[in-house]
Structure 1
Amino acid sequence: MTPDWKAISARLQKRNQDSYSYRNEMLHVLEDSLSFDGYCCTVVNPTTLTSVGAITEESIDAIHHDLLAYEYEGNETNSYKNLIKAPVKVGRLSDHFGSNASRRYEDILKPNLFSDELRAPLMVHNKCYGFLTLFRKAGEAGPVFFSDEDIVLLQKLGPIMGEALQAYYHALLVEEAGKNSIGNGVIILNKSMQIQSMNEAGVTYLNILREAEHTTETLSLPKPIQAISARLLAGEKNAPPVIIPLMNSSHIIASASFLYNASETTPHIAISLNNASPREMSFHLMDAYALTYREQQIVLECLTGAPSKEIASNLNISYYTVQDHFKIIFQKVGVTSRNELIWELFSKHHQ
């Protein structure tokens, strides 16, 4: 009997208050229908696609840093950036063996005895809220690969998990921003992502992020910090900051930059961590509600108090198009008036 994945997901959502527990249980349920030897299930910021928290199986955790580096360097087989735009949103690595062999397979997975990889972006409303990556190890008889049935299963599961992760992401973002302010945290890493120094606020943020990943390992570097560091090392010098929503804590905004020292030729990585401001929260909240660029433009016009005719003139669209956009915006945000819309997206976060 084929499992009802939508019902299973709904049941797990009801039982688990945070996405970490939801993802952990979903992976255990998935094992009954799909064989895999390793996994990484990541929540990502829907705007930047940067990891804001990952669950990794132990053997994958040991190579997670290397996998991140290849992901952000570009031109990799089945990169999530490309899978999100692909008509079939599941990628099987073994389909590309041969002339188009993946560098991460040859350099990382194969030496660690992994013979195949299956990837699925977890998406809803054309927005990606997570990545699900599964791995198979070679057996005594040789390589073991994922089947076509496995691909079909992840095609069904991707949107279901995407909807759940969107709900968790949104639920965290709508909590009051700016509470329990810690201050500006700074963590200095070397290019191998080893911690060199940090200030007191940096220690606090580091402990919060480790707690969110359910780890007490004092030498571990939280996955979101690994991700933004990997993007910087891959050449994304203008990569935008990422907001990390955390249960029972303020939302953290994190960014990475190179720190140069006149006496050293190799720069360090400076991680800046701070509480997300109400303005930053509002923009990310609009993303969490999956508002399109045009819908966000209309919301910002609405914030100025402009009537629909003025909004239409400012955006060079018709009055009726503005009204149609408002109907869709109200449905997405769950409000019935402009006043409620402004309260939900802005005012309640500026108290």
Structure 2
Amino acid sequence: MKTERWIQKIMQACLTADTYTFRRRVLAELRNVLDFEVACFTTVDPRTLLSTGAVTDERIEKLHPRLFENEYEGADCNRYSELAHSSVKVAALSVATGGNLAQSVRGREILLPAGLGDELRAALVHQGECWGFLTLYRSAEQARFTQTEIALVSTLVPNFARTLREATTRMEADAAAVNTPEAGIAVISADFTLLSANDAARWWLAVLRRQEDIGQQYLPRPVRAVCSKVRGRSRIQKSSGQAKVCIPISQGGFLSIRASELTSPSTVQYAVVLERARPDEIVPLLAASYNLTSREKQLLGCILSGGSTKEIAAALSISTYTVQDHLKSIFSKTGVGSRRELIRLLITRYSLLDIM
């Protein structure tokens, strides 16, 4: 009964629209029933699994560069990307290593030297889409996570994931978001130090630092995440390409961050572009947030392109009756009653018109 009451209490934290407040409240409540030294609770872009901002501790903040490197540049136990696509969403490092944390590169080279011990990771997946990762760390002196504790966290994962998903649909762009700088360009060093930036980039970085509540000495975690992803690709695949993430901004609207590698014979740097997200970046995220099916996502794209029912049916090789059935489902999920209301919702709430 005590556990049931606690679960009800922690579910109350799911009622807030602010994901940062929600995550802080969850971690505070978790401490009432689980022993852990430090934690990290990050949201992610479900399409790329890159961080869109984290609530964490100073000790983990200092370890983030190594943790990013561990995630993107080699094989190890319980990688976030693997948990997100696995049938097992919650896993302890002690279980994966048979009780010997040093069998894990992360345990041996990052956690143990920092005085940390067991690690519990949870991929927050709802209806096939991952919206965040919760990680709890115990000190080297604390006991390992038990199967009972792992099961407890597993029962909470669906609710946490659904809350993060639904929070995206509640985002609303305001005048400040609409009037933000067009684009920012920053150059980042190989050790993720800001080397140079235009005024727009510095403005965006300040927004992200306030959102994550971190100091000027740190690059925002999403910026580090895209740079780490590019570096990992370069080292493993010998071809870096580009990494990007779309982030809901607390003041309203969405931010796109893209990173590319800059190379010379002697140095490696990263070019980072920060700008208001384009409709083709925002719409897939909103479609996932509203839990649209693959076919419904296709229809949404056709609707925004101005296609009629007959044109949509022809484009997707389905009947007009099937189009109508899909539209009814989309209307139900988004809380509107017509195609006109759907377009109004997307244009007014998320300011798509201003960037189309």
Letter in 2 for 1:205: W
Aligned partner of 2:218 in structure 1 is 220
| Partner SS, residue 69 of structure 2 | helix
Query: In 2 relative to 1, CA 72–290 (structure 1 residues): closer, same or farther, beyond 3 Å?
Result: farther
Per-residue deviation at 1:58? Answer: 2.1
- In structure 2, distance between residues paired with 1:191 and 1:4: 48
Aligned partner of 1:349 in structure 2 is 352
Per-residue deviation at 1:295? Answer: 1.4
Query: In 2 relative to 1, CA 317–6 (structure 1 residues): closer, same or farther, beyond 3 Å?
Result: farther
Aligned partner of 1:266 in structure 2 is 267
Do the aligned residues in 2 keep the contact of 1:241 with 1:255 (CA within 8 Å)? yes
Do the aligned residues in 1 keep the contact of 2:174 with 2:252 (CA within 8 Å)? no
Query: In 2 relative to 1, CA 234–329 (structure 1 residues): closer, same or farther, beyond 3 Å?
Result: same
Aligned partner of 1:232 in structure 2 is 230
Post-superposition CA distance 1:58-97 (Å, at most 9, x none) = 2211111111111122532111211122222111111122
Do the aligned residues in 2 keep the contact of 1:50 with 1:242 (CA within 8 Å)? yes
Per-residue deviation at 1:342? Answer: 2.4
Do the aligned residues in 1 keep the contact of 2:11 with 2:159 (CA within 8 Å)? no
Letter in 1 for 2:313: A
Per-residue deviation at 1:311? Answer: 3.0
- What TM-score, normalized by structure 1, do the two folds share? 0.89
Aligned partner of 2:23 in structure 1 is 23
More helix by share: 2
Report the count of equivalent residues: 343
Query: In 2 relative to 1, CA 41–162 (structure 1 residues): closer, same or farther, beyond 3 Å?
Result: same
- In structure 1, distance between residues paired with 2:332 and 2:17: 24
In structure 2, list runs of 5 or more residues that go unmatched. Answer: 235-239
Do the aligned residues in 2 keep the contact of 1:189 with 1:197 (CA within 8 Å)? yes
Aligned partner of 1:156 in structure 2 is 155
Per-residue deviation at 1:246? Answer: 1.4
Query: In 2 relative to 1, CA 167–7 (structure 1 residues): closer, same or farther, beyond 3 Å?
Result: farther
Per-residue deviation at 1:306? Answer: 4.2
Are 2:251 and 1:253 aligned? no
Query: In 2 relative to 1, CA 337–72 (structure 1 residues): closer, same or farther, beyond 3 Å?
Result: same
Aligned partner of 1:42 in structure 2 is 42
Query: In 2 relative to 1, CA 275–302 (structure 1 residues): closer, same or farther, beyond 3 Å?
Result: closer
Per-residue deviation at 1:298? Answer: 1.4
- In structure 1, distance between residues paired with 2:187 and 2:216: 16
- What TM-score, normalized by structure 2, do the two folds share? 0.88
- In structure 1, distance between residues paired with 2:330 and 2:340: 13
Do the aligned residues in 2 keep the contact of 1:5 with 1:160 (CA within 8 Å)? no
In structure 1, list runs of 5 or more residues that go unmatched. Answer: none
Query: In 2 relative to 1, CA 242–104 (structure 1 residues): closer, same or farther, beyond 3 Å?
Result: same
- In structure 1, distance between residues paired with 2:306 and 2:258: 33
Are 2:132 and 1:134 aligned? no
Per-residue deviation at 1:20? Answer: 1.0
Aligned partner of 2:81 in structure 1 is 81
Query: In 2 relative to 1, CA 114–290 (structure 1 residues): closer, same or farther, beyond 3 Å?
Result: same
Farther-moved stretch of structure 1 (324-333 vs 223-232): 324-333
Farther-moved stretch of structure 1 (274-283 vs 240-249): 274-283
Give the RMSD, CA atoms, in angstroms: 2.4
Aligned partner of 2:301 in structure 1 is 300
- In structure 2, distance between residues paired with 1:170 and 1:6: 25
Query: In 2 relative to 1, CA 5–343 (structure 1 residues): closer, same or farther, beyond 3 Å?
Result: farther
- In structure 1, distance between residues paired with 2:168 and 2:242: 21
Do the aligned residues in 2 keep the contact of 1:9 with 1:160 (CA within 8 Å)? no
Per-residue deviation at 1:259? Answer: 1.9
Aligned partner of 1:289 in structure 2 is 290
Do the aligned residues in 2 keep the contact of 1:39 with 1:56 (CA within 8 Å)? yes
Per-residue deviation at 1:185? Answer: 1.2
What percent identity do the matched residue pairs reach? 35
